[in-house]
Amino acid sequence: MSMTLATTWVRRGVAAQFPTKYQVDEAELSRISKLARLQFEDAQADLEEAQNPKGEDGSDDEDDDDEENGVSTMEGAETNNATNDDPDDLREYNLDDYDDDEPADELGEKFAMFGNVGSLAYHAPHEEDPYLVLPEGEQDSDDEREDLQILSSDNLILAAKVEDEVAHLEVFVYEDEADNLYVHHDIMLPAIPLCVEWINHPVGKDSEKRKEGNFVAVGTMSPEIEVWDLDVVDSMYPTAILGQEIDGPAEGEVNGESTKKQKSKKKKKKPKANDEYHVDAVLALAANREHRNLLASASADKTVKLWDLNTGKCAKSYTMHSGKVCALDWHPTESTVLLSGSYDRTVIATDMRAPDAVAPKWVVEADVEKVRWDVHDPNFFFVTTEAGTVHYFDARNVPTSHDKPSKPVWTLQAHDSAVSAFDLSPSVPGLVATGSEDKRVKLWNIENNTPTMVVSRNLDVGRIFSVQFAPDSEVAFRLSVAGSRGQLQVWDISTNPNVRKAFAGKVKLPETSGKERVVAINDNGDDTDDEDEDGGAETGQDGWESMDED
């Protein structure tokens, strides 16, 4: 089984031309040893809980409403399967004295369960690790540098993927002129990924010395949010972990400099929602482009949290919804206003400076899937739902009653199934893309508040989980599409005749050979250029419902 659950683009010129190899010094080794210990302790707690699911009084420790209020995870089962049945087997790792200074060979044994970490532990800080340092004369070889090189004309596309029960983030390089799409490197993840967000604020070690960053935040079925440096390859642990349940200051998990002993706070009973960290799956992330150190997260624990990337701490926690919060988007011009959507069928625009004030709320007819401000006119926003609809609301018209669905400017019945993917072009006003569990991607022209379908395509990626336009004007008509088959495709929609007809004269369209262009990667890892003149396209249909004033 292979599924790509979330994607995001990285604009041109951001990535380092020559990404660096992951280096382990004494401080980094200390940091990852602490993180490894937390994993050991969590595994031991899971094992004990599995062997003794009932408390001393014989009553079940689990809360009755855990299934209702949270998203169940696979971590516990995976951990138990990977751990021996005998709890005494963990004693050999001497966890009580794990932080004590010990010879490198003993540390190596303790890291044996963590793959190549063991090989790192065998080498003292002043020694060169042959697994990381190439022999003299080969370290700066032209071939290696060329393989890692990312040009200023390249885009990165980040794809969160599950393949054969292994979760990872694939970092693609997209070379538009060469019709080339390939995996540059990948990052192993601890649990099923649900959302990804690119961050341009420096995080972690030496962040105070940098003005820009190239990082990604990943939300998974676990409550923690991992932040990875995209300019470093072969990393074993994230640069930062937001919301990790540990003692000591947040700098310990961000920079590896905590002076306090870290230990797990894992309990048999599921922790309750709190102001410090999430206790359930992270369903959505949104980076603030004006206040770049702020990252918002939405969770199945019904809270929205605001993280300060400078400290790695939760700056503020909000509870504005009664259901799981699944969608977020910052206002394009009012940088403190956050739009959130929930399974409680409401959308709320909260000014994060005044969380106690009564925030505008809108009600829709089904569970919310996506929310998005209209970047071309920020007085309006989009909401997609599980019922297959897209609503377009005027944020200035705040409903006074929440007993029934609020009245939008217009409603579009875009698909028969949930609209699980949505994006609007940042460069082409009126151009909107939707994707659904019906396996189809549709492009719409919404100019003059009259949505008209331009084209519908089945790109053979399965149920659609993500559609997103490229962020750069040079590739304004490139749309990435991914879904339940695990494949990522980049569709040059400017090569579609219906798109050219619908937007001719409104924007400058690139020259085309007359054949449709889709760049993808085959199951064998090779990139392909799919030129298909119809591809099962449906065009010329209208699917909108005008909402006239009473």
* 33: number of Cβ within 10 Å: 18
Percentage of the chain lying above the pLDDT 90 cut: 59
Query: 129-133, 185-189, 250-254 — which one is most confidently predicted on average?
Result: 185-189
Percentage of the chain lying above the pLDDT 70 cut: 71
* pLDDT reading at 451 higher than 60: yes
Helix (H, G, I), strand (E, B) or coil at 105: helix
Q: What is the mean pLDDT of residues 339-350?
A: 98
Between 280 and 267, the higher pLDDT residue: 280
Among 126-135, 164-173, 395-404, where is mean pLDDT lowest? 126-135
Confidence bin at 124 (pLDDT 50/70/90): very low
Contacts with 353 (C-beta within 8 Å, 6 or more apart), sequence order = 336
The whole-number pLDDT of residue 23 equals 66
List the one residue out of 28, 50, 61 whose CA is nearest residue 132. 28
DSSP labels, 261-329: PP-----SSPPPP-SSS-SS-EEEEEE-SSSTTEEEEEETTS-EEEEETTTTEEEEEE---SS-EEEEE
- The dihedrals phi and psi of 487, each to the nearest 5 degrees, come to -85, 140
DSSP labels, 126-164: TSPPTTTSPPTTTTT-HHHHHHH---TT-EEEEEEEEET
* 413: number of Cβ within 10 Å: 14
Retrieve residue 177's tokens. Answer: 């002129």
* pLDDT reading at 104 higher than 80: no
Retrieve residue 200's tokens. Answer: 């341009």
Across all residues in the chain, what is the average pLDDT? 80
Confidence bin at 362 (pLDDT 50/70/90): very high
Specify the DSSP class assigned to residue 405.
P
Q: What is the mean pLDDT of residues 431-458?
A: 96
Q: How far apart are CA 67 and CA 162, in angstroms?
A: 23
Long-range pairs for 403-408: beta carbons < 8 A, 24 or more residues apart: 404/363, 405/363, 405/364, 405/365, 406/362, 406/363, 406/364, 407/547, 408/383, 408/547
* pLDDT reading at 260 higher than 70: no
The whole-number pLDDT of residue 250 equals 38
* pLDDT reading at 156 higher than 80: yes
Helix (H, G, I), strand (E, B) or coil at 472: coil
Confidence bin at 174 (pLDDT 50/70/90): very high
The whole-number pLDDT of residue 324 equals 98
The whole-number pLDDT of residue 471 equals 96
Retrieve residue 276's tokens. Answer: 């410090």
* pLDDT reading at 299 higher than 60: yes
Among 65-69, 278-282, 440-444, 477-481, where is mean pLDDT lowest? 65-69
To the nearest 5 percent, what fractions of the chain are helix, strand and coil? 15, 35, 50
The whole-number pLDDT of residue 112 equals 38
* 212: number of Cβ within 10 Å: 9
* pLDDT reading at 83 higher than 90: no
- Which residues pair with residue 197 across a beta bridge? 217
The whole-number pLDDT of residue 550 equals 34
Dihedral of alpha carbons 309, 314, 315, 320, sign: positive
pLDDT in tens, 365-417: 999 999 999 999 999 999 999 999 999 999 999 999 999 999 999 999 999 99
Among 115-124, 267-276, 287-296, where is mean pLDDT lowest? 115-124
Write down the pTM of the prediction. 0.76
* pLDDT reading at 538 higher than 50: no
